[in-house]
Structure 1
């Protein structure tokens, strides 16, 4: 790993020379390869490299952020000069500043224990094409699969380095690998599409590409000849593929920026029951081999597990230093996310709804008539009121069993009511940044025929 910290040290020194009181800087360097197979032919072969440096400077209660992709001394000097010139003329922002409790020094084992760098040799373009071909061939082997939207395989490696004028320095690497496929079943107006995908930090953790092809085919075939249920109130199950979206809405509602602006339906719910008893939701950047894990956040603050919701009660906002100061709280809770351009905002790492006690089958066994949602589309979410409305498709549930497919429906409710009635199953899914099992919510409005 080539150290990027010397470039950051140069940028910080130059910022001070040009008049900054304090400064911090981030560099993100990436490289990626991806390949797609469609109808047996190679498409979308791509190799990309990127480099971005973001410099944030503070001057007499003002802040400015600039970005560049040139690490030469001349370019860094020009970047620092421009940032400091901007910071002298923008409106005051007294709550902006460096983290009050940076992680100094970064513990020697903090990076190693996360296991974010795959030691295996990254797959070649030929290997990626072969994996994509295996996926597509497996899917097209099913009778009734009539077309492929493409199968893809990808690999990536990113270096992340952060330094501040307060003395924090840290750098780590993150690898990533992924497979995905989308296929079509049926013909003409009756055609249905579905997909399968998997991503992992380590190649060894990826699912077999042929199995993903078979999964995509089975899902597409199961959706043929859908119906529309009658409009009414139904118990609804959210499949793990879409259940994480409910966590994403929670994350948006408890984001410090939304709370500062009073633009959240949860702004008055801190230390109140939002979910039923027994529900725990954790943001945890320390989980090994997960894409959202990190040894420190975007301001150099330690990454620690945080129970945002415990036994149904909401206990924390997602905070960076600026939002913490605006809300009169003592410090950031390590939830600062940072882009390559240097901008800082609160966010999540690995957001996890803890598993419940029952399997999905047990969760639906008493449902005489309900709906299993496997895909959501569109979004009409009012974050001020919590009103929720999304298009969807999936399957009817009849007498506890999965029945005929449905599509063209709209599922609606209010997120406060939905959170209060939410029941998680035990099939937790760790594929994506918002990890959730199957979720049951009773009495949701469903618009159909």
Structure 2
């Protein structure tokens, strides 16, 4: 009889108690996935995987250890627990380690409201193949596309269950369906590439493969003839496809682990303005059908909607139990973990206040500058917020796109950049991070 993730997690806890652990928690992730890739109108690669991964954390006083495995046989669970307890005996004491108190734990969540799992039938491999082929054909139909380097489709599910000796036990299942395409334009040294893709919880929400392939092809063709831009100080418009990276740098700086180490350019900015006064950054882990939604975090605490930044002011850090204890604060219910490591702070679904104007309006108003559609590499100083990244996109003159550009670097300081961002109104509402195109004036641009 096949055991469920819930059965296995409780068996792990029983084994941990028997091995002498004072406390323990267990996480079990059971998943399957199927993917296909095509090239030249034919199947190039197909893969299906299924497996169960389990992780056990044991505590002896303030000492903890973690072991993981993909083998759920009873004898393996016993060995895991014995090994973890032996490791914990040799581990240094961590005054901030420990499970949640019972009164902190999540209860009474409504999984149906989150719609994390699509009840529709799993797609056949042939359906995925046809989607990938359709995306490739649509890209190749765009005039100027010389080849498609990758067209793929996939489907996956996973079930996760978390249980702990403090009485918590809970789990949920997720599904995802995706299509993607990478197109190449031009020949030889003049080749350019771009992509498009979509991933959704519910298959019926997925954009059509024809649209995805066409968009990838059109984007690749638009980059033909790219050249280096001028060097100087110019406004930079971060396209909606990559603008969430700016917010990602802010999130990294308010992560409780970084704050506890003192390694953050925002460590002294709690309660201070970090964004323009009319902007807020909202975290909402309860949005239906969104990949970042979840009823509880990896320590069994309830997730919650919160304003990370409200009217431009930073309201709090992103905390798990350990970082909260170090900072003498309360966890925000943001613990995440895999099977082989301890919990750590992480963010869920995020939305930045959208602006009143379109991306075209911002292009017009910026005059002369750079529209960034792709970035590579990253040099971010976590202590000062100094920012430097390689970029490519399009040059803008008098509010109009004139030609594609590449091989340039944009630089500034995140503290200053974020305070003067101007958002457009073009964010895609189905993403986990809903961030529109963002205009930042006065950035340093290094090109030719």
TM-score by length of 2: 0.97
Deviation at 1:100, TM superposition (A): 3.4
Structure-2 residue corresponding to 1:135: 135
Deviation at 1:105, TM superposition (A): 6.0
- Correspondences of 1:162-311 after superposition (within 5 Å): 162-311=162-311
Give the direction of change, closer, same or farther, for the CA distance of 1:102–1:389 in structure 2 (3 Å limit). farther
- 1: CA distance, partners of 2:242 / 2:106: 39
> The residue matched to 2:90 in structure 1 has which SS?
coil
Farther-moved stretch of structure 1 (131-140 vs 281-290):
281-290
Structure-1 residue corresponding to 2:101: 100
Structure-1 residue corresponding to 2:360: 361
Structure-1 residue corresponding to 2:10: 9
Deviation at 1:2, TM superposition (A): 6.8
Query: Does structure 2 conserve the Cα–Cα contact (< 8 Å) formed by 1:270 and 1:315?
Result: yes
5+ residue gaps in structure 1?
none
- 1: CA distance, partners of 2:106 / 2:209: 42
> The residue matched to 1:240 in structure 2 has which SS?
coil
TM-score by length of 1: 0.97
- 2: CA distance, partners of 1:75 / 1:106: 31
> The residue matched to 2:241 in structure 1 has which SS?
helix
Deviation at 1:4, TM superposition (A): 1.9
Structure-1 residue corresponding to 2:344: 345
- 1: CA distance, partners of 2:267 / 2:339: 30
Farther-moved stretch of structure 1 (427-436 vs 160-169):
427-436
- 1: CA distance, partners of 2:103 / 2:408: 49
* Pair 1:56-2:67 in alignment: no
- 1: CA distance, partners of 2:3 / 2:201: 20
> The residue matched to 2:230 in structure 1 has which SS?
coil
- 2: CA distance, partners of 1:338 / 1:7: 18
Give the direction of change, closer, same or farther, for the CA distance of 1:236–1:101 in structure 2 (3 Å limit). farther
> The residue matched to 1:132 in structure 2 has which SS?
helix
- 1: CA distance, partners of 2:232 / 2:104: 53
Deviation at 1:395, TM superposition (A): 0.6
Structure-1 residue corresponding to 2:112: 112
Give the direction of change, closer, same or farther, for the CA distance of 1:60–1:266 in structure 2 (3 Å limit). same
Give the direction of change, closer, same or farther, for the CA distance of 1:102–1:354 in structure 2 (3 Å limit). farther
- 2: CA distance, partners of 1:285 / 1:358: 27
- 2: CA distance, partners of 1:230 / 1:200: 40
Deviation at 1:430, TM superposition (A): 4.1
5+ residue gaps in structure 2?
none
Query: Does structure 2 conserve the Cα–Cα contact (< 8 Å) formed by 1:228 and 1:409?
Result: yes
Structure-2 residue corresponding to 1:69: 70
Query: Does structure 1 conserve the Cα–Cα contact (< 8 Å) formed by 2:371 and 2:393?
Result: yes
Deviation at 1:143, TM superposition (A): 1.8
- 2: CA distance, partners of 1:51 / 1:433: 26
Deviation at 1:39, TM superposition (A): 1.4
**Residues paired across the two proteins, number:** 447
Structure-2 residue corresponding to 1:156: 156
